Structure 1
């Protein structure tokens, strides 16, 4: 009685096996054909092709390594700056420990500028800048890596960090270092801002426009050097940093708008897509937002040190500290696989979770802005 049933399942599994075999053969066919063609060639052809193949394999090994290894990633990187030990607002003369007299020609560096420069260093020196690597630009058989589930998380994270750095360099030039907004623009910061607006994906050569290009990491490294040069001028009291309440308010307002745009991006994807673990674009949104929070955690912590007098005078310390704590809590969300499931479903919805942390940070910034505006 069981023989027909057993035979039926045997045929089913045999058919499945043949199907899998055909799929594997179809995948391997181009490689087998290329291998057979290569074997039939002379060494004049085999030599250059072999060298080219080895170089290609090496490039891909380097590329995959760089996309998977996040060198010096540390959500607690702010602790290394000892911001609580600073006694002066940015640009103010430093007083000697004994007697309280001012040290000659010595002013407080800007922690904000230091952190911004270090974030650039993290993106392009401590790690390779993924977005302008030639294999990242070529994509997967012509498909952009951003449109696949693989090898793009670090690139998107770096662009999130870079978005925060760009915003900061703009605000440094437009308001933070200009006395009452009337003094001249600092040329070092002006140049750094311009370089940070450079296209994020430029390699050594481009098609539009056609010709050689300055690669993106080189421009960002130059901007980092100029930021540090400005801070050296500030420490020598030959540059200015205007740590006024209205500058602080304007900076918080701009960052609030930037974070608000990221919140809208997360909400749009969360509301309109419900792919769970199979939403291959959810990780792009998540890691971009994570990169922004990672950068703003350091930038806002440093801003609190540079504007400590304003924060203390306007009694913003409790809400300011809560904002920093909320930023740090957001960095604890680091899923192995980003899920964009329905909020009422059984799977996690990491986009909504990240969006919650982003909105909490933004609400605190808005509240501080309102207090300062009174």
Structure 2
């Protein structure tokens, strides 16, 4: 009996060994065949081959570096703005400092207005995506995929791209609200040209490289459009600081803005729930990581933007007693952004070996959304 059991396990071990042998031979065969072909060629052919291989080695080295190094990543980067020190809401005139009799004798200084914290943060988030870091989604090697397989369908090198697209989702939504409501007096002023330009550039395809097939021909890459959006946003804020632009900080505009954010987060939480419920393969779900990091990037962006909104709408926040709700929402964002697992697992929610990071992120996202919905209810009274 013992011999049969031992033989059974030996046969399993032999089968696994043969399987790995066949797999290794299949992987190595193209390289061995290429090596044999290369050895039979003259240096006139070898040198161009060496040059091409060296080029791809450099490109993949750069690509690996850019996907693994996240420059400027800091969930607490909002603290550097010191929004709590702002005493005037966005677009309102900043009172001139009283310097006594000397000030009375001198000419009146040009009036200045408060810049928009939302616009500053939005421009800086884009800057982090395309200037402090390479925009991964439009890089040539990202578009080529992993031996023809989309990187998003692999567990490798796609986390940063998903994180950047999550931030971009928050930035796009915010740019639309700036054009439609926040950057104009509804019904009595036209659309601001700089904000309109920024919104148009941010809606550009996230995957464009210097050349494309549909339509066929050369293209302007995605990061160039996003850099133009940064310039437009900062130009708007310069005009606003000079009191030559409008920021309409009314309560109904804040209500509409946070309502759009709540809907956006609700859509992402639904995506997380669908993936968690129907594809819970633990560490072997190759799409779990990009779902997780997209949601993380979206929360990262909205955390900064909503913190800025509290400053821009400071008068409304004070009048409607929203301070406690904003503080509670901030704590929920911070709790969600502390979740940074090295490997994303999409296991069963009641599993004990493989955790369910998607369910955890979805839970925190819904807590954030719940606080935002409560703020919306207070504003709507």
Quickly name the TM-score band, shorter chain normalised: over 0.9
SS of structure 2 residue aligned to 1:286: helix
Tell me the residue number matched to 1:26: 26
SS of residue in 2 equivalent to 1:324: helix
Residues 16/176 of structure 1: CA separation in 2 closer, same or farther (3 Å cut): closer
Compared CA separation, residues 301 and 18, structure 1 to 2 (3 A)? same
Instruction: Indicate the larger mover: 12-21 or 154-163.
Output: 12-21
Shift of 1:39: 1.6
Unaligned runs of 5+ in 2: none
Structure 1 residues 103 and 276: CA distance shift in structure 2, 3 A: farther
TM-score, normalised relative to structure 1: 0.95
Matches within 5 A, 1:107-146: 107-146=113-152
Task: Say whether the 8 Å CA contact 2:251–2:316 is kept in structure 1.
Answer: yes
Provide closer, same or farther for how the CA distance between residues 59 and 2 of structure 1 changes in structure 2, counting only shifts above 3 A: same
Report the equivalent of 2:344: 338
- 1:70 equivalent in structure 2: 70
Question: Which contiguous aligned blocks of 4+ residues in structure 1 show a shift greater than 6 angstroms?
Answer: 1-12, 99-102
Partner of 2:376: 369
TM-score, structure 2 normalization: 0.93
Unaligned runs of at least 5 residues, structure 1: none
**1:349 corresponds to which of 324, 348, 356:** 356
Q: Residues 152 and 182 of structure 1: is their aligned pair in 2 closer, same or farther, counting only changes over 3 Å? A: same
Residues 322 and 2 of structure 1: CA distance in aligned 2, closer, same or farther (over 3 Å): closer
Contact 1:273-1:340 at 8 Å conserved across structures: yes
Q: In structure 2, which of residues 286, 289, 293 is the aligned counterpart of residue 287 of structure 1?
A: 293
User: Is residue 59 from structure 1 mapped to residue 59 from structure 2 by the alignment?
Assistant: yes
Q: CA deviation at 1:294?
A: 0.3
Give the distance between the partners of 1:330 and 1:234, measured in 2 at CA: 33
Q: Decide which of 254, 264, 268 is 1:258's aligned counterpart.
A: 264
In angstroms, what is the RMSD of aligned CA positions?
2.1
Deviations 1:346-370 (A, max 9, x none): 1321111111111111111111111
Aligned to 1:301: 307
**How far does residue 7 in structure 1 lie from its aligned partner after superposition?**
8.6
Tell me, in whole angstroms, the C-alpha distance in 1 between the residues paired with 2:90 and 2:189.
17
1:192 aligns with 2:220: no
Tell which deviates more after alignment, 273-282 or 317-326: 273-282
